[in-house]
Amino acid sequence: MHKFTVLIVEDEKSICDFTSRTLISHGYRVSCASTGSEALSLASSLCPDIILLDLGLPDLDGMEIIQKIRTWSGVPIIVVSARTQEEDKVRALDAGADDYLTKPFGISELLARIRTSLRHSNKVNSGNGLPPHPYRAKGLEIDFFKRNITIKGEAIHLTPIEYKIVAFLAQNSGKVMTYSAVMNNVWGPYAESDNKILRVNMANIRRKLEKNPAQPVYIFTEVGVGYRMADDEENL
Ligand code: CA
């Protein structure tokens, strides 16, 4: 069986040991780097399937590492950061990281993030041009051909902009999408930098989709970062 290789970039030995043990016991092959320069050299020599990148490293800035790797590789990068580094998360995602984990993180969260990122990168790499299968989660179904959204069979009527937002999040389900990623996808590269229009649309979307918009089950807010749509059931 082919094992996926995870490169863990982390300067705190206890976190590194814990993460490696967990991943090895779940069938991954693991390598560790404790500095940024070691990370860059292992990223190219090892060709890992995924990289877990601690943003606070002794030698290089995490952003620099992401940008360097992105010049030659699309390998999924999950950023690991402390709770206080919210702005760093957004910068890292916009620089090309795929997702993030906040320390301290649980095992199930770690494994779910890795599975989601691997799945997305495989989809991108296979690039067979086939349109995506319908998205399904908790009774919500999106047919991307017909541009139909139903909940338990009942049609949901969205405006074209609202549909674009929901379809983009659904096609990236399980992954956090930053406000600017959504804005760029829906309104294009000249979108306003103010995300008020997105928040207004999201409030309307939630009124239409969610039973209780204050406690969403389909589209979650990642405070200060963006939105994450519930994972497609086919992927769970
Ligand atoms: Ca650190």
Q: How far is the CA of 42 from the centre of ligand 1 (A)?
A: 18
Query: Is the Cβ–Cβ distance between 151 and 139 less than 8 Å?
Result: yes
Query: Measured in angstroms, how far is the CA atom of residue 81 from the centroid of ligand 1?
Result: 8
- 47 alpha carbon to ligand 1 midpoint, in Å? 23
pLDDT band with cut points at 50, 70 and 90 for residue 45: confident
Cβ 84 vs Cβ 129: under 8 Å: no
Asked whether the predicted pLDDT for residue 169 surpasses 70, the reply is yes
- Residue 200 Cα to ligand 1 middle (Å): 37
**Does position 102 have pLDDT exceeding 70, yes or no?**
yes
Asked if 43 and 19 touch (Cβ cutoff 8 Å), the reply is: no
pLDDT score, position 195: 87
pLDDT at 53 over 90: yes
- pLDDT at residue 54 is higher than 70: yes
Q: Give me 87's structure tokens.
A: 């702005």
- 107 C-alpha vs ligand 1 centroid, how far in Å? 19
C-beta atoms surrounding 196 within 10 Å = 8
Q: How confident is the model at residue 130 (pLDDT cuts 50, 70, 90)?
A: very low
In angstroms, what is the span from residue 92 Cα to ligand 1's centroid?
A: 15
pLDDT given for residue 1 in this prediction? 57
Distance CA 121, CA 119 (A): 6
Ligand 1 centroid distance, CA of 180 (Å): 27
- The pLDDT-based confidence of 153 (bands split at 50, 70, 90) is very high
Contact 4, 49 (CB under 8 A): yes
What is the sign of the dihedral through the CA atoms of 209, 213, 217 and 223?
Answer: positive
55 Cα to the center of ligand 1, angstroms: 7
Higher pLDDT pick, 89 / 192? 89
Nearest residue to 173 via CA among 221, 226, 233? 233
Interval between CA 3 and ligand 1 midpoint (Å): 27
Distance 229 CA to ligand 1 centre (A): 29
Find tokens 């089950």 and name the residue.
217
Please give the distance, rounded to the nearest whole angstrom, from the Cα atom of residue 38 to the centre of ligand 1: 14
User: What is the percentage of the chain residues whose pLDDT exceeds 70?
Assistant: 94
d(CA 223, CA 236) in angstroms, rounded, equals 24
Arithmetic mean of pLDDT, 162-191: 89
In this prediction, residues 167-182 reach a mean pLDDT of: 92
Residues 128-145, mean pLDDT to the nearest whole number: 81
Helices H, strands E: what count in the chain? 8, 12
Q: Which of 50-59, 181-190, 215-224, 225-234 has the lowest mean pLDDT?
A: 181-190
Q: Are 78 and 52 spatial neighbours (Cβ–Cβ below 8 Å)?
A: yes
Compute, in angstroms, the gap from residue 220 CA to the centroid of ligand 1. 28
- Range in 128-132, 140-144, 181-185 with the lowest mean pLDDT: 128-132
Amino acid 205: pLDDT: 98
- Residue 151 CA to ligand 1 centre (angstroms): 43
User: Residue range 104-110: average pLDDT?
Assistant: 92
CB 134 within 8 A of CB 177: no
Whole-number Å distance, alpha carbon 54 to ligand 1 midpoint, is 6
Instruction: Compute the distance from residue 157 Cα to the ligand 1 centre, in Å.
Output: 46
Q: Are 91 and 63 in contact (CB under 8 A)?
A: yes
Query: What's residue 211's pLDDT?
Result: 95
Where do we find the tokens 């389900």?
A: 173
Residue 13 Cα to ligand 1 midpoint, Å, equals 9
86-90, 113-117, 213-217, range with the lowest pLDDT: 86-90
Q: What is the pLDDT of residue 186?
A: 86
Is 191 a residue whose pLDDT tops 90? no
**164 alpha carbon to ligand 1 midpoint, in Å?**
38
Is pLDDT at 19 greater than 90 in this prediction? yes
